[in-house]
Chain A
Amino acid sequence: MKQQSIFVTVGSTNFDELIKAIDNQEAQNQLKQLGYNKVVCQIGSGNYEPKTEFFRFKSSLSEDYQKADLIICHCGAGTILECLKLKKKIIVVNNDTLMNNHQMELFNALTKQQLVCGIKSTKQIQSELIDKIKESSQLKAYPLPEPNKIDSIIDSMF
């Protein structure tokens, strides 16, 4: 079976619950069964340091996104957009311990359109993560924009 890798990213904040959920023996065993034998974590300012490969910050994560087959991320629009455009499988975990509920609109829209798999609250990470990883193979591809749309928009203004 092809060896696949997972990249977990939490952005600039901390999200220990997410890192812990993937960094334990049980989860690792199940991931191996699914064909994922490499996990890299970007843990930001988190307190928990995983046993798997990890780092805190980098100026650009583009390379890590490109290398990964599956990306598990917090609900940050920039990360999600960049990964969608790379046509990666994405699992978005909403960090409801942070007060950023304006991202919920985006979270709901993307999960509804099956562009990403979503985990709604921190409490559900442990129970849902593996299921969502299985589900992620059925995600739809993000439709790339038609190239000349912006031209016609600007032209229509004059």
Chain B
Amino acid sequence: MLILSILILLLVYVGFRFCIRSKYNKKYNMLVLFGSGGHTYEMLMSLKNYDFQRKCQNLYFMHSFADSQEPGRVAKFIEDNKIALPKVEWITIHRSRKVKQSYLSSIITTIKATLHTFLILLRFRDLDIFITNGPGTCIPVVIVLFAQYLLFIRKRCKILFIESWCRVENLSLSGKLLYWVSDKFVVNWESLSKKYRRATFVGNLI
């Protein structure tokens, strides 16, 4: 009887600890994708107030070869805004679609980029969450994350999609493609959340 009650107490205690841990102390392995120009600015603005120190285990920033100046811009922003970060590792991938590239040739370059991304992401199998605000490069990354999950290569990585601030009435192409796929779909304008029911609006993020 005594042993049983001690056992139950122990179980409750462990359960309690587990709840607290998972809810408040869980640290995530986070992958953030930076596109070019405006996308980078918006992403930095959205994440400016995020408590990376407390919430992040491993932090990975991703950009494509074409956007080679992004790491510098990101570093400058982080310094200017005194954002405290754990050590950041940069991942470089191929770009899937140049601005104004035709849709047909986009498909071919996207396939190439996807294969390349697949190989690179094999090194990063501990991801918990992928954050993107919809540069073209996000599509192959999402495909790869899902494919590797299906192939038992990685655990499930959640996808947070933040629609660009420029989008008020209609979703961007990436937004339309990832609308049903993302675990959380956040928009910056209330009009969008009324039109698209899966979209979350919590006031402007930037």
Nearest B residue to A150 via CB reads B50
Q: Is the interface of A mostly helix, strand, loop or mixed?
A: helix
B205 touches which one: A77, A102, A109, A150 (CB < 8 A)? A150
Is B47 in contact with A150, judged by CB distance below 8 angstroms? yes
- Chain B: interface residue total (CB-CB under 8 A): 36
Task: Report if A154 contacts B (CB, 8 A).
Answer: yes
Instruction: Give the distance to chain B from A114, nearest Cβ to Cβ, in Å.
Output: 15
- The residues of B that contact A78 with a CB separation of less than 8 Å are 37-38, 41
Interface residues of B in 1-55 (CB under 8 A from A): 22, 26, 28, 37-38, 41-42, 45-47, 49-51, 55
B203 touches which one: A82, A103, A146 (CB < 8 A)? A146
- Chain A: interface residue total (CB-CB under 8 A): 25
- The residues of A that contact B55 with a CB separation of less than 8 Å are 151, 154
- The residues of B that contact A158 with a CB separation of less than 8 Å are 22, 26, 28, 128-129, 158
Tell me the B residues contacting A by CB distance below 8 Å: 22, 26, 28, 37-38, 41-42, 45-47, 49-51, 55, 128-129, 158, 160, 164-170, 183-184, 186, 189, 191, 200, 202-206
Tell me the A residues contacting B by CB distance below 8 Å: 77-78, 81-82, 85, 102-103, 105-106, 108-109, 143, 145-154, 156-158
